[in-house]
Structure 1
Amino acid sequence: MSYHPSDQESKGAHPIDYEQFQRTPEFQELKHRLRRFVFPLTFAFMVWFIGFVILGAYAHDFMAKPFWGLNVGIWLGLGQFVTTFGITMGYVRFANRQLDPRSEALRAQLESIESGEQAQWEVTP
C-alpha cells in the first residue's frame, strides 16, 4: 500500500509536528526515565564485562584457581550469562511498569491529534 498525502487530507487527518512533540514534558519525562534506567546499568555491565576480559587476559593464575569444583574463570564467565539475563528481566519489568503505560498514553494522544479529535499540544519554553 502506498502513501499519498492526499489520502490523509481526504480523511480529515491533521499533520503532526513530531519535533514539537518531542519537546513536550510528557515525552521528555519518558525519555528521562528510560535513560535513568539504561545508562547506569549499561555502564555497570560494561565495567563487569571489561573486568572479566582483562582478568582473563592478564590474571591467568587467578582465573585458573579452583573454586567449588570449577575454576574462577568459568564461574565468572557463567556470571556474565546470569547478569545478562538478570538485566534483561529487570528491563522488561521496568518497561512494562514504567515505560509502556506512558508511551501508550503518548501514542493515544498522537492518534487523537492525527484524527482531529484533539488540538496540537502546547510546549512551554
Structure 2
Amino acid sequence: MDVHDGGGAVRLGVQDPWTEALAVGPWEEHGGPSQRPEPGAAARQEPDRTAVYRQVQAGEAFQEVRRRYRRFAFPAAGACLVCYLLYVTAAITAPGLMGRPVAGAVNVAMLAGLGQFAMTFLLTWAYARHARLRRDRAALELRWDTQERVR
C-alpha cells in the first residue's frame, strides 16, 4: 500500500543513515506501522532524518571530503589499470623480452608479475595514508555534526 492509501512499507535492510538519504524519491515509502507517532508524542518528534542527510550531502564540508577522495582514487585506479594493461600487452607483444632470464629461473615476466603485487600493496598503503591524513578527520567531524543534528 502507498503512503496516500494510509499504509506503509516495512523497512528492510541495513541501518545505514546514508542509504535512506540517498535512496529517497517519490516512489519510496516512508515509515511503517512501528514508526507512527504515538498520540500526544508530537512534542518529542524526531527531526526529519532524510532532510538532515540531504543538507549534509549538499554542504561544502561533505563535498570537500568527496573531492579529496576523488582526487586520489581516480588517478590511482587509472595508474594501476595502465600498469596492468602494460604488463598484459608486453606479455602478448614481446614474449622474447618477458621470457628473458634475470637470475636462474626468474625471468622478466615473473619480476613484472611480482611488481603487480608490490604495486597493489603500495597503493593500499598510500590509500590508507591519504585517508588518515586528508579525509578521516573531516569525515569524522562531519559525522559527529550530522549525528548531533539528527538527535
Asked if these proteins are the same fold (TM beyond 0.5), I'd say yes
**3-state DSSP class of the match of 2:84?**
helix
**3-state DSSP class of the match of 1:38?**
helix
- Which residue of the partner structure matches residue 97 of structure 1? 133
Distance of 1:48 and 1:83 partners within structure 2: 9
Moved over 6 A (4+): none
Alpha-carbon displacement from aligned partner over 1:88-121 (angstroms, at most 9, x marks no partner):
0111111122221111111111111111xxxxxx
Greater radius of gyration (CA): 2
Q: Which runs of 5+ in 1 are unaligned?
A: 116-125
Change in CA separation of 1:68 and 1:12 when aligned onto 2, cut-off 3 Å: farther
Q: How many residues are aligned here?
A: 113
Percent identity, please.
31
Give the structure, 1 or 2, with the largest relative contact order (CA under 8 Å, sep 6 or more): 1
Q: Tell whether 2:103 aligns with 1:68.
A: yes
* Counterpart residue type for residue 142 of structure 2: L
Alpha-carbon displacement from aligned partner over 1:6-55 (angstroms, at most 9, x marks no partner):
47x77542113223321100001000000001111111110000110111
* Counterpart residue type for residue 89 of structure 1: W
* Residue among 51, 74, 79 paired with 2:86: 51
* Residue among 122, 125, 131 paired with 1:86: 122
- Which residue of the partner structure matches residue 20 of structure 1? 55
Distance of 1:41 and 1:96 partners within structure 2: 16
Q: What TM-score comes out, normalization by structure 2 length?
A: 0.68
Q: Which runs of 5+ in 2 are unaligned?
A: 1-10, 12-31
How far is 1:67 from its partner? 1.6
Identify, as 1 or 2, the structure richer in helix. Answer: 1
